[in-house]
Structures are given as structure tokens and as C-alpha cells.
Structure 1
Amino acid sequence: MLVPEPGGDLPGRWRIRLPGEVEYIFHARRGGFGAWRVDPASIRRRADGRTVPATDPTRLVLDARETLGLSAPALAELVRDLIATQVADARLRATALPAAALADLGHEELEAHQTGHPCLLLNKGRLGFSASDADRYTPEAAGDVRPVWIAVAAHAARFTAVPGLDTTTLLDTELDADTRAGFAARITARGGDPDGYVWLPVHPFQFDEVVRPLYAGPLADGTMVVLGDSPDRYRPMQSIRTLTNVDRPDRHNVKLPLMIRNTLVWRGLSAAQTGCAPVLTTWLGGLRDTDPFLRDECRVVLLGEVASVTVPHPVYAELPDAPYRWHELLGAIWREPVHRHLDPGERARTMATLLLEGADGRAVIAELVARSGLTARDWLRAYLRALLPPLLHLLYRYGASFTPHGENVVLISDAAEVPTRIAVKDFGADVELLPFDLPEYADLPADTRARLHRWPARDLAHSILSAICAGHFRFLTDIVERHLGVPEADFWRLVREPIDAYHRRFPELAERFGWFDLLAPEFGRVALNREQLFGFGFHDRADRDAEFDVMHGTVANPLHTAAPTGTVPPRPVADGPVPPRPVADGPVPPRPASGDAGRGR
């Protein structure tokens, strides 16, 4: 791997030596989790007796090929993904706004300015999109998308929904009466009964790339009927395949499969993913509604994935060992929009917004703190009190883990821009449980439990340690230090406050605190870039996620030493491993070829 070494007598100067007597020289300071805070303007490439500014990351990849041990196919894919990411970054720079203007934008409008997964170097490749596709379908393009509605004969599709929601009720909320009547007439014209079909939207890219060529048979024999374009305009969110309604924001977000590869995986929707979503929404919503801490104190919002449709391909369904993308071609998930849950005066932004810096060099978080009238530390305390307690409670009390990274957590602030609570989204595909059944799992149907990922407690702890601490706070600490004047060590002490307060509040869960061990001295490093760079062939597996996230070494846990008193408190009870207990419904199931669990960590 590329290991920097001190680059001279000047403090903070580093260099990387590569084959062919090539060196890269730069200035950087170190941060938590081994982070490098590199000054981009300082990077120089030295080769053939010349030292020039290093402005081309593809040149670095070529220089480092031997050191990284990249095969020719892997290198070619890396360069392809890197250049596509650069093009997306160039568009973001061209439309950049000052921090104050970003802070004024609504939840959906902000999606056009997010910079992508902070942990991944190749985070906006969207491989499979043409240039014109990128102009239409990426969030930074902020273009209008009109899904194509189709109808699939009931025997060829599966509809699942939360209790009390059927297809008629769903369609009544998503399409006006005239549109429904027009669509029904098209089915009748093909000789079909509108009530004998399942209706769903399809992303226009997927309709052209997948439905028309690969479902030609069902289209020809009437098993599938094209109904027409959506009358409403939608915009893509950061996950690309999730669309939000521009004309009717009160209508559901729709999550639709795309035959593109982005940040490690193909972005389809599997049967397991779509089928489990409404069931998990019902279970988690029931936990929230019957738990006074979650419901009344945290007031956490779980943006329910209330309905889904799965449409297997008639041929690929008989090829279970085909690469997973061929089993994730067609389906839909309907998710509640955050607007339905906001009180008057409240504002919603994804947590990733806190990592944005405006075109004027000012951080959005600095703008929000200034508007609130609070000190930086008090604003951060409010933010951390809103964020951590509900996630800790779901993990400790209910043994439920998912991936609450910056795009999956929506920060809700009051009219004064003080954070008060959070909404969590996109959890249906990522819920993971302990390898033994807790009493709290009793209301989760056994067939759903059998399809979910089951991991030891200290793996589930990565929902906090990796998705939030290493995956979000690692980058936020740099911004907080530079723009708010709060040193990184002080920030971690602020993070410890709500964790310690939770441990004091619920002493009856002390044994479980030990299971997950969030305050351990170190934890495994989730190596997403390593998986992406060296996982050539990974994309063609039949099983998308055969194992837990790729780990490489360990990192020091800043929560361990961040006690407000400056002393290390005793770790929770039950410091040893979780005692082995049987799984109630049989052996621990392998991960199904579905979901993106861990991809956001």
C-alpha cells in the first residue's frame, strides 16, 4: 500500500516513494482513525528531475500500479470509475453555492450539492450511465425525471405492503383519478383486466436499458403493459435510484432499480430487499410507537418503506448462480417523505450536509451555528443529543443494527436551526440482527428473521463505530476544528456525553453494553476502498454480500479515552465475548444476494 514518510525538515511535510523514482510530496496533518488532512494545493509530483503540481489523480494511479498490485483489468476499471467521478465533481464545482445559500435550500434541493460518500475515493462513477444519462439522471444535474408506469400480470409480480395498505389505496395516493383511468384503459385495450395487474413505476433509464430489451416476451404477450409516463416530475436523491416527487412532495419517494454500478455494487433491487422492507417498517415502527423513550423523548422518525413490488425475470429467475445484478432488474419500493413528519417551522437536511463547504469557503455547519445563536459547543451538544440516543436504543434495547451514515440520517432542526431530532431512512435493506434471538425479536415474523443478516454484537456495533464515528465524524471533526474552533479531542468528549448519559439512564442494559463494547480501546477498520480497488470480480458474484465488510487492521477508538474528566472510566459490564446461544429458527443464515449492508459504512 501507499505509506507516506516524513518528507524533510519542515513539520507536516510528507512524501510517497513509488517505482521509477517517482515521488509525491505534500503537506498534511493527522487526524483520528489515521486520517490524513492533506492540503490539496501542496501536492507535487517529482519525476525525471522535474517537480510539478500534481493535478491528475489518474497519473497517481498509474504511478502506483505496481505498489498497489493492480491487475490490468482492475486498473482499467479503476480509471474508468475515477474519471467518471471527476466529471461529476466538475459539475458540482460549476454549480457550487455559498454556505448561506446552501443553508437556505430545502431537503430535496440540497441533494444536488452533496459530494458523495466521504469514505470512498470512487464515489460517483455510476458506471453504465452515458454522458447524456448523467445529464438527466444524476442528483448534481438536478434534472426532472418522469418514471414510466407499467402493469404486470398478478401471477408475474409480488406486491407487499404494511397492514392496511393495498394496491388501490397506494395508487390513489400516487396517481390522480384521470391518470388512473387512462392507464386502466390501456390495459383494457390490450384485452386485460386492470384489477388483474400490479402497477409500478420504472426509472426511464431502466425502462430503456432493461425492460424493453429483456422483458420483450412479457411485453409482447400482454403479461406486461406499458401504461405511460408519470404526470409528476421527480428528482434523483444521492442514492441515485431513489426519486422524490417535485410536483407533489407529499407523495412517496420511490426507490427503483438501475443497471448501473456505483460505490461497490450494482444498484438493483432484489426480491429479499423489496419483500422485507414493509415487514421491517411494521416491526421497527411498532417498536418506536410502543417505546416512550423513542416516541416521546427522542421523537425519532422512521421513514417507512410502506409498499414494494418485485418482478422476477422469467428466465434469469431459473439461473440462481447468475451474477446478482440479473436477479435485481425490476421492482419498486415506496417510502414515506420526510415532509409528512415535520412540525411547523422545522427544517430537514441529511446529515451529510454538515460536511459541505460552500463556494465561499465557509462551512454550512458554521452558518447553521451562527443562525442558531448558540455557541459552537452547545450546538454540537444539541446535534449529538438528537442523533445518538435513538440509535443507541435501537442497538442496545432491540438488537437492531443498520447503516445510519450521512445520507441515511436526516437531521431535523427547529425554526432557530437548533437540531432537535432525526429521521432515519433506507433501513429496510440494511437491518441486521444478533446471531441469537432476543425477546425483542418476537414480533418480527420468522420468515423475515431468517432472511436478515445475523452477526455478532461487535460486528453490529459498526453501525455506530464505523458508519457514524469513522464514516462521518472522522470528516466532521476536521470541519469543526477549522470552522468552529473546536479541537478534535473536545469534539470526541462531546460525543461521549450522550453515550455516558444513556448508560446511566438504562443500567438494566449493562450486559448488552458489554456485548457491543462501543467504548473498546480499538475496533476493526472497515476498508471500503481496499474492497473497491482489489475486489475485481466481486461485481460478478451470484451473492452480492457473502461476508461482513472487508476489514484491514484496527484503529484506535476515540470514544475510549474521551471521558469528560480526562480519565478513562471503567468499561461496561460483560466485557468478554457474547455467550454462545442458539438461533431460534435454525443456523445463522448466510447473507442473501440483496441489500447494500455495509456499503455505507
Structure 2
Amino acid sequence: MDNWPVVNEALVRKALAEFTHERILSPVADGNEYVVGRYRFAARRYPLNHWDISSVVRDDGLPVDAMEFVTEFHQQLGIGREMLPVYLEEISSTLASAAYKLSKPDLTAADLVGADFQTIEAAMTEGHPCFVANNGRLGFGLSDYLAYAPETGAGVRLTWIATRRDRTTVSCSSSLTFEELQRAELGQDVLTRFAALADPAEYVYMPVHPWQWDNKTSITFAADIAQRHIVHLGSTDDVYQPQQSIRTFFNRSEPARCYVKTALSVLNMGFMRGLSPSYMAATPAINDWVHSVVSNDLVLKRYGFSVLREVAAVGYHNRYYENATDKTSPYRKMLSALWRESPVPSLEPGERLATMASLLHVDRHGASLAAALVRASGLAPADWVRAYVDAYLIPLLHSFYAYELVFMPHGENLILVLRDAIPIRVIMKDIAEEIAVLSPATPLPDEAERVRADVPDDEKLLSIFTDVFDCIFRFLAPLLEREGVLTVDEFWAVVASSIRDYQAATPELAEAFAKYDIFAPTFALSCLNRLQLRNNQQMVDLTDVAGSLQFAGTLDNPLACG
């Protein structure tokens, strides 16, 4: 495999950079280079303790090997001996995925400027920019990988089952009924075919990931199938494409139809990717509330910010496993699904969609899509960055300052709406499982109360400092500087200017701006890899996310350094 040395060297560079960023490793300067153990490398250092590392070599002259690197440093990394083989398996899977991506036809950053939504989705090569082991997918074999990994861009026909109504949670947005949703998603011909196999008066029709049916449902739920609590219905003609989040599917046959998100009992990046049927009960109500807040807020409307509602959800309760486990067990999260609105119907003529993760995408020639978009737009680079920051950051800041409502705003969770290669607005998705309301004063409907979180005041703004500054801008600014588009200092000056203009235009929130100072000199370094290294099977306690965080000192705030 010609690509194997390449992907190993790239992953070790990332590991050195991110473990150094989180102050797990401490490189020692040696002339113009740095040394960690037997590894020597060149690096450029940027704000937020960001290390852009190149040309890693070993002092014994042997090829760089990512799995050997992790094993060698596992004690410093804090990986328990019993967890080390599982983490190595995730590293191996991440390497294999990277090698596959390099074997695909060369699609340059310039090519992606004009590409369609799903071509860009499948072209993403990196995964989460901070996590080192970010393509674990433990449970997938080779045929599963080729069929279901997002980077293959393969078409998938979902498996459909019928589950007894008295064992199934069904919930729907106030804007439609579940029957209306199923007619829109399946069509009358399919519903008639399903009804011949399972009476809709007694059963609910549910989509299942094909891997989940083959490897979990058909075996682990055999007793329920034998008793006809679950009936296999087959598939429909709609062809879906797996998204970067791996268990979510976009409908390629009917793009205006909903995304489908399914439970998937695969270990990936710190969690088993299940869906709780208990959580499904409140999912549409939470989405309705967020949608109401966003669509009725004049500031958010001015910036064009919107959300994709999860409009319906279903979850099957397996009584055997529920009687045998506590409420957080993965065994309770093996058979659920939800439907999320598609962004396609909201587009105006001339608008295009792209995952926001694409702004950190670098092709195999070292060119970034972000720089290619800036050049294609014809705007001055600072003006392009200002358009992006206005569309992305300011709505997040306003949601926090006005309501203490925070999202999980990583690249895969945002969709850019582009016109002439310029970001004009953003669309947020993955709402119910990944939002939080940090204030006891923000009114919530009873069914949405679970999203309220008790977070210390001095940690609340980490929803911006960590999730946006450290996990997005820390990478984006150096990308633009390396290609001569905009210096890092110029990038952060644009960010500061955008925030100051927003604050000046929103004087009614002055008290909140003062209480939670976005221009504070420093903020706590919240470490994502430390979470995964501590427990790569359940990174955080979902009942106490704030209490699970791992900190390592502070970072200088680039907004305060100008």
C-alpha cells in the first residue's frame, strides 16, 4: 500500500500537534526543530497553542508508525492498559480510512468550489479536526465500510421494519402528524405494501440502518421478532447517502424529503452511536421550541440563521434489555430513528449548500477549500471572512447572550449556504441531542426541560471559546495564512470587528456582554482528546456533561491579543 507511510506520517503529525495543544506532550526546541522522545519535527506555532507540524522523522531512521507511536506514549497519554488495544483499533481504522480516501480519484479544492452538496459531503477527508482517532467505526468490516462509510459516497437503501405500537414511542412536531410524515416520506404505494405485511393500526413503520438490522436487530432482538413485536418489511426505492455523522442519511432520490437518522451500535469517537427511545419522546418538542426561538428573534432573522427541525421520531422499547440495564446503557439505544428536515426546499435561486466542515478541508496537494472559495468569490479576503463570521459566529453568540442557548457548532453540524462562493447564511442541525440551555431563567416547555444544564458561570462561554475558537478558528486562520490569503492577525481582527459591531447594535444585552466577556484575556483549555483517552467507549457522562470536562490550564484569547 503506497499510501500507508503517507497516512501514518500525517496521523503522527496530527497526534503530536493535538496532544501538544492539550499539554499532554511537551516538545523540546532543538535549533529550528522540536523533539518529543525519538521524534523530530519542524513546526510553526500559532495562537491558541496551535502547532502546525511537518516532516516528522524518527531518530532511528525507521518509518513513522502511528500505532507504534500511541503504544510508545500510552502512559503519558493516560490510556489505561485495558483500553489501549481498543484505542489502537480505532487508530488502525482511522489509518485505513485515510488510505482509502487517498486511493479515490483526485478531487482538488478548486474542483469542489463548484461541486454539489453531496459530492462535497463525500469528499471530506479529515473528520473532526481535534480528535486523533476520529474514524474508529468499530464494528464495520470491509464490506460494511465500502457500503456505509460517508467517504465512499455509496447509495444505501434503508431497511424498514414494523414495531408494535404498545412497545414504540412515537413523537411528532406540532406542525404535522406522524401519518402525514409517513405519507410524505414513503408514498401511498409503499404504505399499501407495508400494510399488507403489518397492520398500521397495530404497528409503526420505522427505518433501520442496514448494518444494524443485519448485525444487531435480527439477532439481538430475535425474541421480539419471533413474537411478531417486530416485523421485517424490506426496503423502498429511495436511495440515501450516508453523511459525515455516519448514522444520518440524505435522500438522493428525493432531496426535498427528510434526512433519516438511525441508531447504529458502532463505536465511533468516544461513543456507541445509538439513539435512545426515551429521548425520542421529546425530540420534536425540543426542536419546535428551538425553531420558535430562532425564527422569532429579529437579530437571528437579520443574520439569516435557521435550524433544521427533527420533526418526528420513533423508538422501540425492548423490555428484556430495559429490565436488565440502567437508563444510560447502550442496550437501550439500539432501535430508534428520527426524521430531520432537508435544507433543499429552503434554497433560493443561485444558492448552493456545503457542509461547514469543508472550510477546513485540504486536498492532497495542500490546497484548502476555504482559500479556493475566497479566490472564487472575488471579494477581498477580509470581506469574505467577515461574511462567514457574521453568518456563523454572530448567531451563536446572540443565542448565548439572549437566551443562554448553546449549540454544538462543529463543522459537520453546520451547513453553509453559498452564493457566488460567499457564505451568506448558515443552517444548524442535530438539535435535540446537542443543544443546552444554561440559564434557569430561560422559559422552556415542560417536555423540553431535559436540555437545561447546570453549568458554572465561568464555564458557560466555553460553548464559544472551545467549540468555535479552539475547534474551528484555530485551524481555519492558519490555513488562510499558509496560502497567502489573510494573516492570522488579520483573521482575528475581522472576528473582533464583527463581534464589536454586533454588540454595538444590540445594546439591550450589554449586561450579558459584561458578565460573559468574549474579549477576556484568557479562557480555560477544555481538552477533547483527554476525554477520549480516558474513556474511549463513553467519553462523557451524558447526565453531567459539564462535570465530565477535562481542563489543562488556560489559552490566551486571540481577541484580547491585538
Alignment of 1:154-165 (within 5 A): 154-165=165-176
* Counterpart mapping for 1:153-192 below 5 A: 153-187=164-198
Query: Which stretch shows the higher mean deviation, 326-335 or 446-455?
Result: 446-455
SS in 1 for 2:319: coil
Q: Which residue of 2 aligns with 1:112?
A: 122
Distance in 1 (CA, whole Å) between partners of 2:265 and 2:109 is 35
Report what 1:573 is aligned to.
none
- The residue that corresponds to 1:82 in the other structure is 91
The whole-number CA distance in structure 1 between the counterparts of 2:540 and 2:417 is 39
Q: Give 1:533 deviation, angstroms.
A: 1.4
The answer as to 2:37 corresponding to 1:28 is: no
Distance across 1 between alignment mates of 2:218 and 2:71: 39
Say whether 1:236 aligns with 2:258: no
Aligned AA (1:316): Y
Equivalents in 2 of 1:220, 1:57: separation in Å? 46
Residue ranges of structure 2 left out of the alignment (5+ in a row): 1-23
Alpha-carbon offset, residue 539 of structure 1: 6.6
Please say if residues 276 and 429 of structure 1, whose CA atoms lie closer than 8 Å, have aligned partners that are also in contact. Answer: no
Shift of 1:253: 0.2
Give the Å deviation of 1:249.
0.7
1:377 aligns with 2:386: no
Where does residue 45 of structure 1 map in the other structure?
A: 58
Contact 1:173 1:251 (C-alpha < 8 Å) held by counterparts: yes
Q: Is 1:403 aligned to 2:408, yes or no?
A: yes
- Match for residue 529 of structure 1? 529
C-alpha separation in 1, matches of 2:451 and 2:375:
47
Cα deviation, residue 273, structure 1: 3.6
Structure 2 contact 407–436 (Cα < 8 Å) conserved: yes
Q: How does 1:183-582 map to 2 (within 5 A)?
A: 183-187=194-198, 193-295=199-301, 297-321=302-326, 324-414=329-419, 416-438=420-442, 441=443, 444-450=444-450, 452-535=452-535, 538=538, 545=545, 547-562=547-562
Alignment-mate amino acid for residue 213 of structure 1: I
Contact kept, 8 Å, 2:401 with 2:509, in 1: the verdict is yes
Distance 2:324 2:222 in 1: 18
Q: Give the structure 2 partner of residue 129 of structure 1.
A: 140
Identity of aligned residues (%): 34
The answer to which of 504-513 and 236-245 deviates more is 504-513
User: 2: CA distance between counterparts of 1:103 and 1:485?
Assistant: 16
- Cα–Cα, structure 1 residues 445 and 170, in superposed 2: closer, same or farther, change >3 Å? same
Q: Deviations over 1:233-263 (max 9, x none)?
A: 1111000000111111111001101001111
The amino acid of 2:220's aligned partner reads L
Amino acid at match of 2:331: W
1:370-390 Cα shifts (integer Å, max 9, x gaps): 221111111111111111221
SS in 2 for 1:112: helix
Deviations 1:485-536 (A, max 9, x none): 3111111111111111111111121121233322221111121111111226
Structure 1 match to 2:27: 4
TM-score, normalisation: structure 1: 0.86
Structure 1: tracts of 5 or more residues without a match: 18-22, 188-192, 563-601
Partner SS for 1:146: coil
Q: Secondary structure of 2:337's partner? A: strand
Structure 1 residues 560, 382: CA separation in 2 closer, same or farther (over 3 Å shift)? same
Q: 1:458·1:517 contact (CA, 8 Å) conserved in 2?
A: no
Q: Distance in 2 between matches of 1:485 and 1:510?
A: 34
State which structure, 1 or 2, has the greater radius of gyration over its C-alpha atoms: 1
SS in 2 for 1:337: coil
* RMSD after superposition: 2.0
Looking at structure 2, the residues matched to 248 and 524 of structure 1 have their Cα atoms a distance apart, in angstroms, of 45
Kept in 2: contact 1:99–1:359 (CA 8 A): no
Instruction: State the Cα distance separating 1:407 from its structure 2 match.
Output: 0.9
Could you tell me how far apart the structure 2 residues matched to 1:319 and 1:512 are?
46
SS in 2 for 1:517: coil
Moved more, 445-454 or 275-284: 445-454
Aligned with residue 138 of structure 1, among 141, 149, 173: 149
Distance 1:289 1:62, change over 3 A: closer
Letter in 1 for 2:122: A
Deviation, 1:538, is 4.1
Q: Which residue does 1:591 correspond to in 2? A: none
Q: Structure 1 residues 397 and 29 mapped into 2: Cα distance closer, same or farther (>3 Å)?
A: same
- The number of residue pairs the alignment matches comes to 537
Question: Which whole-Å CA distance do the structure 2 matches of 1:303 and 1:457 have between them?
Answer: 29
Question: What TM-score, normalized by structure 2, do the two folds share?
Answer: 0.91
In the alignment, is residue 147 of structure 1 matched against residue 158 of structure 2?
yes
The match for 2:6 is: none
Give the secondary-structure state (helix, strand or coil) at the position aligned to 1:514.
Answer: helix
Q: Is this contact kept in 2: 1:149–1:229, CA < 8 A?
A: yes
Rounded to whole Å, the distance in 2 between the matches of 1:345 and 1:79 is 46
Name the amino acid aligned to 1:80: E
Q: Secondary structure at the match of 2:48?
A: helix
| Distance change >3 Å, CA 387–CA 539, structure 1 → 2 | closer
SS where residue 412 of structure 2 aligns?
Answer: coil
Tell which deviates more after alignment, 366-375 or 238-247: 366-375
- Aligned partners of 2:262 and 2:337 also within 8 Å: yes
